[in-house]
Chain A
């Protein structure tokens, strides 16, 4: 089974934007990250429309700063941090709250998908997994999403959320245990 690679081509897109001002690469970057970033921001600002504006603003800044884009080490993380900071700032404007605990963020996730040729789970099982994921504590669910959908490394998640790598490790383990167990309870037959 192949490991899922991080968005390898983000480096490539980054280079094309910085060096060649390649709009097609800029568009590809936007399309790859937009949905995920919007969901992340919505978890903070609680409004999809506001979140989309924030993400759009961050991308405008990316284009404006394209000449120095290559200086960024980890572009995906950079963009996430920018979205996070802008979202928190926006929340502060509206709410006067100075800190938001990640335990309060409830993030929407991609619905579960199976390759039609390789389908090995029944719809019932998919539903079980889905509800297990959605009943995870918010922190575990967020970390799970960042690891699975955004393919972030432990270090990146820790950096983004201002927590330790150990916590990330621990939370992911919890998440996987819960999810796998939910599946097992539902579908296991007597052997």
Chain B
């Protein structure tokens, strides 16, 4: 049983419970049987080290905790000096387009390139509850996405070509943000303060949950995908209707203006499409993450998607524009997933699956 004794002694050594005799005994045992020597050393080192704390998140959570106390009439920090809190995005992803002349490919994920944070013109700090905070808004360009933490601890991933205005959180303490484009929210629960996302066509109200909102102005649809929790959605021009989503569902709202425009331009005979549909999230076989939220892991996933729609997403992803020279190509349905491919690699891959030609002119891709 001396083989097993070593583990008891090891445990006592690591936890500081071992007496000097036990420590000596341990040293002797590992000398006798050195097959695990290096592994033991590695475990000792790992044992000592802590994962660094996520200080920003904990600070924000503490603020929420103080709010809860305040609601019960308890205010511990009444005589505390003002603190300054700075909010900044801490991860920035940039994908490189494959220019025909350049040869450098960055398959890596993190390139801390330009700062995509735009501050509003009047940067007057505001004092609320003894805290001095700056106002803020975040904008992402095509070809990159960003991730940030709001003052209440809510995490936001902002996809390419999007804008999030969260200055209202500071001004009034009310958790309301304004979104153009696409973002994934992981909202900190606070029943006293509902979190509301405004887009130009829908308002999404949440208590604490993780979900994706896709509201690009040039897209045919506005989508809200729910990963967990629950959200309530109101459509702006139908104020009496409320939709409640359950996890793994998404609400798709057809952008009526865009559809009307398309119909006029092409004089198509239309099939009636319901304006609002609730669907299940899309999954590839064996995958646990939905297609709708794959972009957060920097994957572009698509299932049975018409080329014209996919082209819009590819355009934002690679920061190019697509031009279709025939309508047949627009309607080709595509399924797949891209992670670190360049634009050319993606186009070549799509070409294998279907039948189209393309040429690239600077930042325009022509499909013919």
Interface, chain A (partner B; CB < 8 A): 1-6, 21, 23-24, 26-27, 30-31, 34-35, 49, 52-53, 56, 59-60, 63-64, 110-115, 118, 120-121, 125, 129, 147-149, 151, 153-154, 169-170, 172-177, 179-181, 183-184, 187-188
B52 touches A113 (CB 8 A): yes
B302 within 8 A of A: no
B7 touches A52 (CB 8 A): no
Give the docked Cα–Cα distance between A125 and B80 (Å).
Answer: 47
Taking the nearest CB of chain A, how far is it from the CB of B218, in angstroms?
36
With a cutoff of 8 Å between Cβ atoms, the chain B residues found around residue A115 in the complex are 49
Within 8 A of A (CB), among B1-54: 4, 7-8, 10-17, 35-36, 39-54
Taking the nearest CB of chain A, how far is it from the CB of B16, in angstroms?
4
A49 touches B208 (CB 8 A): yes
B325 within 8 A of A: no
**Given contacts A49-B208, A114-B49, are A176 and B68 in contact (CB under 8 A)?**
no
With a cutoff of 8 Å between Cβ atoms, the chain B residues found around residue A187 in the complex are 39
Q: Interface residues of B: mostly helix, strand, loop or mixed?
A: helix
B43 touches A179 (CB 8 A): yes
B51 touches A176 (CB 8 A): no
B7 touches A177 (CB 8 A): yes
Give the docked Cα–Cα distance between A26 and B74 (Å).
Answer: 14
B10 touches A176 (CB 8 A): yes
A180 touches B40 (CB 8 A): yes
B59 within 8 A of A: yes
Q: Which of A31, A56, A177 contacts B68 (CB 8 A)?
A: A56
**Given contacts A169-B8, A174-B7, are A113 and B42 in contact (CB under 8 A)?**
no
A63 touches B74 (CB 8 A): yes
Give the docked Cα–Cα distance between A176 and B47 (Å).
Answer: 11
With a cutoff of 8 Å between Cβ atoms, the chain A residues found around residue B74 in the complex are 60, 63-64
Q: Interface residues of A: mostly helix, strand, loop or mixed?
A: helix
Taking the nearest CB of chain B, how far is it from the CB of A94, in angstroms?
16
B51 touches A110 (CB 8 A): yes
A125 touches B42 (CB 8 A): yes
B189 touches A30 (CB 8 A): no
With a cutoff of 8 Å between Cβ atoms, the chain A residues found around residue B80 in the complex are 23-24
Q: Can you show 20 pairs from A to B with CB atoms below 8 A apart?
A: A4-B48, A24-B80, A26-B76, A35-B54, A49-B208, A56-B64, A56-B68, A60-B68, A64-B74, A110-B50, A112-B51, A113-B50, A121-B42, A147-B14, A148-B14, A169-B8, A173-B7, A176-B11, A177-B4, A187-B39
Taking the nearest CB of chain A, how far is it from the CB of B253, in angstroms?
28
Taking the nearest CB of chain A, how far is it from the CB of B3, in angstroms?
9
Of residues B15, B43, B69, which shows the largest number of chain A Cβ atoms within 10 Å of its Cβ?
Answer: B15
B17 touches A35 (CB 8 A): no
B47 touches A172 (CB 8 A): no
Listed from nearest, the 7 A-B pairs whose CB atoms lie closest are A173-B7, A172-B11, A110-B51, A49-B189, A23-B77, A177-B7, A113-B51
Give the docked Cα–Cα distance between A133 and B170 (Å).
Answer: 42
Interface, chain B (partner A; CB < 8 A): 4, 7-8, 10-17, 35-36, 39-55, 58-59, 61-62, 64-65, 68-69, 72, 74, 76-77, 80, 189, 208
B48 touches A52 (CB 8 A): no
A63 touches B76 (CB 8 A): yes
B11 touches A56 (CB 8 A): no
B50 touches A154 (CB 8 A): no
Q: Which of B43, B61, B72 contacts A176 (CB 8 A)?
A: B43
**Given contacts A31-B53, A169-B8, are A183 and B76 in contact (CB under 8 A)?**
no
Give the docked Cα–Cα distance between A175 and B4 (Å).
Answer: 12
Give the docked Cα–Cα distance between A147 and B13 (Å).
Answer: 12
With a cutoff of 8 Å between Cβ atoms, the chain B residues found around residue A173 in the complex are 4, 7-8, 10-11
B48 touches A176 (CB 8 A): no
With a cutoff of 8 Å between Cβ atoms, the chain B residues found around residue A172 in the complex are 11, 15
Taking the nearest CB of chain A, how far is it from the CB of B34, in angstroms?
10
B35 touches A184 (CB 8 A): yes
Give the docked Cα–Cα distance between A6 and B59 (Å).
Answer: 23
Q: Please name 4 further chain A to chain B contacts, defined as beta carbons within 8 Å, in addition to the given A56-B64, A180-B10, sorted by A numbering.
A: A114-B49, A173-B8, A177-B4, A184-B39
A183 touches B43 (CB 8 A): yes
Taking the nearest CB of chain A, how far is it from the CB of B104, in angstroms?
25
With a cutoff of 8 Å between Cβ atoms, the chain A residues found around residue B77 in the complex are 23
Give the docked Cα–Cα distance between A118 and B40 (Å).
Answer: 16
**Given contacts A153-B17, A176-B11, are A63 and B69 in contact (CB under 8 A)?**
yes
A176 touches B7 (CB 8 A): yes
Name B9's closest neighbour in chain A (CB-CB).
A173
**Given contacts A49-B189, A63-B76, A154-B17, are A112 and B46 in contact (CB under 8 A)?**
yes
Give the docked Cα–Cα distance between A188 and B53 (Å).
Answer: 32
Of residues A172, A179, A188, which shows the largest number of chain B Cβ atoms within 10 Å of its Cβ?
Answer: A172
With a cutoff of 8 Å between Cβ atoms, the chain A residues found around residue B16 in the complex are 3-6, 153
Taking the nearest CB of chain A, how far is it from the CB of B356, in angstroms?
40
Name B46's closest neighbour in chain A (CB-CB).
A112
